[in-house]
Structure 1
Amino acid sequence: MADEPRPTVRARRLGSELRRLREAAGKGTDDAAQALACSRAKISRIETGASGVRRLDLGILLDLYGVRDREREALEALSRESKKRGWWHDYGDTIPSAYVDVLGLEDDARYIRMWQTMVVPGLLQTRRYARALLEANPAAVRPERIDQLVEIRMERKEVLAKPDPARFWAIIWEPALRCPVGGPDVHREQLAHLAEMAQLPNVTLQVVPLDVGATAGACGAFVMYGFSDSPTPGAVFLETLTSSHYLEQQGELDGYGLVFEYLRSAALDPMKSLDMIAAIAAET
């Protein structure tokens, strides 16, 4: 039997919002199922993003949950968008499924906040730096796919340059800046690119120096995605060599938001962070 299609990020976001609204309205899955004249299993599939929801059914659920005006319009728009293909689908199965999630989250995000411990964030990488990273990881990346993955990584960066771009805030641990990925020339080029990207009005860059000692970032690297102006993120993405995790429970989101605030306080301010980047470049 063929594997079932993986739910898209937008479908999961819509399902998660519908579950949140149902619970806030004090309704059970049986209430939603009765309203749609369907099974509770179908409601579960909708709320996990595994099954789409028709426009008429969405309207019935939103009426049941008492959703009105701007919030209703936003959910209807998200439902329409959940049926569209992103630019990354043109690359077919070249892209690992976990990476597809990242691309979908980035494309929709109003803001992106990241803590990175070992490498420069993907949205700030140069072409040569990205290639060197991919070539250094044959356990996860087949050599014949490297060219396409580099192109995808470069195309990702458009989220920072498009009209009304995402607001990007990256906090980077000092060792990530000192690691000579690709050799001295690539390293210097990457540091110069970081300084250049930090000049964009929608980019904030901070560095946590080694001499700070232990930080809240011991939990490892993570990315938070916000889909509205709320300071609470809408999703947190974690990735390892063999798996990825997409977090959306309120308690989890609040926890990572708090960790980011601790890291922001521990980091150098943006100007001093640029000074450190320049100092590291001068040593390279």
Structure 2
Amino acid sequence: MGAPTVRLRRLAAELRQLRKLAELTREQVNEQTGINVATLYRIETARVRPQARTLTSLLDVYRVAEPKRSELRTLLKQSATRGWLHTFPSDLPERYASYIEFESEAREVLNYECLFIPGLLQTERYARAAISGGDPGLAREEVENRVEARMRRQAALTKAEPLRLWAIMDEAAVRRVVGGHEVMREQLDHLLRIAELPTVQVQMVPFDAGAHPGMTGSFVVMTFGEAAGPDIVYVDSQAGDLFLEEEADIARYNLVFTHLRAGALSPSASASLIAAVAEDLRPG
């Protein structure tokens, strides 16, 4: 099926909750509807999109009345609508594809990065150097596919209703010279320009801030409109990518981001730090 849309994810969560409220196991739902237990599991985890008649059967068993019934039918129709990724000519890793689908429908992204410039703020040359350097085993074609996808993602910042981005970086992210001095200087200049957008906030956590809660790793919190469902936390690590949806996890990462925001330099002071680092990279 490919990466789930945000609305399919919300529909799955709604159906899980309705079954629990009805105090039914998947086996009991199977007995009353004939829907295979494995199929029901896949529906409830957004791995498949239910057919309209399947949804109707589930709503009947769960005794769902209007207007909730119509709301979920509408959600099913909307769940088939995909973003630009479905026309992307090359395959991307499943988790990355899911991330892109979620990001394309998010209203706001809170992004903390330890070592890299956030993907939404990267230049093409920096992205190419970061992707190839971060995963030396990638073939050149795979690197270029990911660079292209990263560049297309950035349209979210300038669309009619732009994505709101709050990016916080450790100072290491701008100090580490990725791709050489020229590429890094170009990247920092770009970062300063894009930080001037009214919907983009950029803050730096300086080295002299000492230990801080972001030192355990980078993460992203994505928030959506009411119609698209609850927030998602995305954590990227060497052990694998994780999507966290439990309220406790979301609250924990929001709290970490709040602490980072309070301990970081102001946006204007952050811009001064970035400009100073860029100046050090200029020849002569």
Q: Aligning the two structures, in what range does the TM-score lie when normalised by the shorter sequence?
A: 0.7 to 0.9
User: Take 1:268 and 1:94, find their aligned partners in 2: how far apart are those partners?
Assistant: 39
CA RMSD of aligned residues (A): 2.8
For 1:129 and 1:7, locate their aligned partners in 2 and report how far apart those are by CA, in whole Å. 26
1:27 partner amino acid: E
How far did 1:127 drift? 0.9
Partner Cα separation in structure 1 for residue 221 and residue 230 of structure 2: 6
Partner of residue 28, structure 1: 24
Q: Could you report, residue by residue, the CA deviation over 1:141-184 in whole angstroms, capped at 9, with x for unpaired residues?
A: 21232223222111110111111121111111110011111111
Output the CA distance in 2 between the equivalents of 1:68 and 1:198. Answer: 46
CA-to-aligned-CA distance 1:237-276 (integer Å, 9 cap, x gap): 1122462111112221111111111111111121221121
Structure 1 residue 258 and structure 2 residue 261: aligned? no
Identity of aligned residues (%): 36
Residue 222 of structure 2, aligned match among 222, 225, 230: 225
Q: Output the CA distance in 2 between the equivalents of 1:173 and 1:149.
A: 24
Shift of 1:103: 0.8
Change (3 A) 1:191 1:92: same
- Tell me how far 1:87 sits from its aligned partner: 2.1
Looking at structure 2, the residues matched to 254 and 21 of structure 1 have their Cα atoms a distance apart, in angstroms, of: 24
Q: Structure 1 20/165 Cα, relative in aligned 2: closer, same or farther at 3 Å?
A: farther
Distance change (3 Å), C-alpha of 1:100 and 1:240: same
Q: Give ranges in structure 2 of 5+ residues lacking alignment.
A: none
Q: 1:174 aligns with which of 165, 171, 175?
A: 171
Cα distance in 2 for residues equivalent to 1:267 and 1:139: 32
Aligned to 1:80: 77
Per-residue deviation at 1:223? 0.8
Mark the runs of 5 or more structure 1 residues left unpaired by the alignment: none
- Aligned-partner Cα distance in 1 for 2:262–2:35: 50
Q: Which structure ranks higher in relative contact order (CA pairs < 8 Å, sequence separation ≥ 6)?
A: 2
What does residue 8 of structure 1 align with?
Answer: 4
1:104 alignment counterpart: 101
Q: How does 1:132-171 map to 2 (within 5 A)?
A: 132-171=129-168
1:62 CA displacement = 5.5
1:282 Cα deviation from its structure 2 partner: 1.9
Q: Does 1:89 align with 2:51?
A: no
Alignment of 1:52-71 (within 5 A): 52-58=49-55, 61=58, 64=62
Aligned mate of 1:43, from 26, 37, 40: 40
TM-score by length of 1: 0.85
What SS is found at the alignment partner of 2:88? helix
